[in-house]
């Protein structure tokens, strides 16, 4: 990827419309019928990865659904879920997904300032989500409802923790993208990475929708 | 004229998932799309949380309602945040998504189905323990 000379992807590509940039209209695909632009390839490949990641999550969801009743005399789903906490986590993650979208628009509009603002707010919401989840985990382990208590709690911590791990990695990636834009500007390769990051972050929110429905809401009505 | 335009559109270029729409008229249109998505997502989330805590609806219908609301919200996220649409330039993305969804349903549905049958047909665990002694 780094062996490709910069001239093959000029940062100043022909603009289409007002301020919207060349998505797929890059010069290698401009005549139509030719191969898609590198931007489309990269994003499509990352989309395939995200789908495989979602399939991995589906295995954890299946394990959770199978083990949710196996509490071994310990706390049940109804005992451990805290709906207020879950609602706040949901709000944080949804807001971060929105601001991440605004940061993507800032890239399209070539505004570094708004990109930094959007990404910083996204980062803060993400950290807020993580701290709430961490507090929840610490509280559960402190009250003897740790992952070793029962098969149900093992499945719970694996499923929710795996999503939390993804969010942590996403925040590291987010900070990396801010640093790269700071050091290298809106270069074509940096833009592709930002596009992949945005896809990753939105996909995490989709998984959280399934998570708060299956684990928290359904747990509370059992 | 419009026919040739459509023709070009179908074969000319695929569309990257998550990319801003090519027909978006600048920044305002983009922000508006994200705002619509956020509004719908908030509405669906609030409904989910409300239904889970209320006694106003028939209780056995609640899990089904929650699943329907969750799937609807995932659709909203896909369309407004990830820009996965039904447009011809999006076919590859949608086909990949459809395959992913198929596998997800096979994994989750199959696991629940098989394990449920095993739970019903197997000797209860405490009796197995007795036999092993």
Percentage above 70 pLDDT, chain A = 85
Q: Closest approach of chain B CAs to the CA of A116, in angstroms?
A: 17
Is residue A100 in a domain? yes
Residue A215: Cβ-neighbour burial (10 angstroms; 0-12, 13-18, 19+): buried
Q: What is the mean pLDDT of residues A111-120?
A: 95
Residue B131: Cβ-neighbour burial (10 angstroms; 0-12, 13-18, 19+): exposed
What does DSSP assign to residue B89? G
Q: Print the domain residue range for B45.
A: 2-132
Q: A222 in contact with B at a CB cutoff of 8 Å?
A: no
> Mean pLDDT in chain B?
83
Per-residue pLDDT tens over the stretch A81-90: 999 999 999 9
User: Could you tell me how many CB contacts below 8 A there are between chain A and chain B?
Assistant: 171
Half-sphere exposure in the Cβ direction for A34 (13 Å, CA): 11
Q: A62 contacts in B (CB within 8 Å)?
A: 107-108, 110-112
Q: Print the domain residue range for A153.
A: 53-220
Is residue A29 in a domain? no
The sign of the dihedral angle between the CA atoms of A89, A93, A98, A103 is positive
Q: B93 in contact with A at a CB cutoff of 8 Å?
A: yes
**A70 vs A68: CA distance, rounded Å:** 6
Tell me how many helices (H) and strands (E) chain B has: 5, 0
Is residue A206 in a domain? yes
> Mean pLDDT in chain A?
86
Is residue A135 in a domain? yes
Q: Closest approach of chain B CAs to the CA of A128, in angstroms?
A: 18
CB contact under 8 A, B82 and A108: no
Q: What is the mean pLDDT of residues B50-68?
A: 89
Per-residue pLDDT tens over the stretch A146-204: 999 999 999 999 999 999 999 999 999 999 999 999 999 999 999 999 999 999 999 99
- The radius of gyration of chain B from alpha carbons, rounded to an integer in Å, stands at 23
Per-residue pLDDT tens over the stretch A43-96: 999 999 999 999 999 999 999 999 998 888 889 999 999 999 999 999 999 999
For residue A112, the domain's CATH number is 1.20.120.80
pLDDT at B103 over 50: yes
Q: How many domains does chain B have?
A: 1
Q: How many domains does chain A have?
A: 1
Is residue A182 in a domain? yes
**Whether the complex's predicted ipTM surpasses the cut of 0.90:** no
pLDDT at A212 over 60: yes
Q: Please, are residues A127 and A92 in contact by the beta-carbon 8 Å criterion? A: no
Question: Which of B12, B27, B96 is nearest residue A47 as measured by Cβ atoms?
Answer: B96
Confidence of residue A32 (pLDDT cuts 50, 70, 90): low
CB contact under 8 A, A32 and B104: no
């Amino acid at each position: 990827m780094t062996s490709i000379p910069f001239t093959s992807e000029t940062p100043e590509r022909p603009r289409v419309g007002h301020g919207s940039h060349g998505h797929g209209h890059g010069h290698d695909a401009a005549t139509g019928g030719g191969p898609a632009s590198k931007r489309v390839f990269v994003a499509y490949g990352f989309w395939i990865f995200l789908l495989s990641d979602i399939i991995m999550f589906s295995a954890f969801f299946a394990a959770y659904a199978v083990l949710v009743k196996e509490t071994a005399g310990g706390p049940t789903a109804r005992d451990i879920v805290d709906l207020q906490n879950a609602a706040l986590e949901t709000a944080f993650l949804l807001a971060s997904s929105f601001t991440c979208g605004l940061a993507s628009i800032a890239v399209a509009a070539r505004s570094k300032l708004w990109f930094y603002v959007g990404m910083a707010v996204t980062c803060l919401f993400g950290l807020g989500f993580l701290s709430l989840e961490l507090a929840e985990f610490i509280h559960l382990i402190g009250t003897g409802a740790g992952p070793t208590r029962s098969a149900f709690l093992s499945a719970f911590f694996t499923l929710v923790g795996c999503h939390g791990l993804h969010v942590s990695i996403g925040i590291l990636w987010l900070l990396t993208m801010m640093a790269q834009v700071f050091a290298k500007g809106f270069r074509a390769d940096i833009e592709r990475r930002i596009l992949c990051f945005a896809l990753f972050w939105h996909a995490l929110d989709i998984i959280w929708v399934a998570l708060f429905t299956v684990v928290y809401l359904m747990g509370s009505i059992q | 004229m419009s026919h040739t335009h459509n023709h070009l559109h179908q074969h000319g270029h695929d569309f990257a998932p998550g990319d801003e729409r090519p027909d978006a008229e600048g920044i305002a249109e983009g922000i508006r799309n994200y705002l619509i998505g956020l509004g719908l997502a908030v509405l669906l989330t609030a409904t989910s949380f409300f239904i889970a805590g209320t006694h106003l609806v028939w209780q056995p219908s609640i899990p089904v309602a929650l699943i329907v609301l969750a799937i609807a919200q995932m659709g909203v996220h896909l369309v407004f945040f990830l820009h996965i649409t039904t447009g011809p330039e999006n076919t590859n993305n949608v086909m990949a998504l459809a395959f992913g969804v198929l596998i997800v349903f096979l994994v989750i549905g199959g696991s629940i189905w098989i394990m449920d049958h095993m739970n019903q047909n197997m000797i209860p665990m405490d009796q197995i323990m007795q036999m092993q002694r």
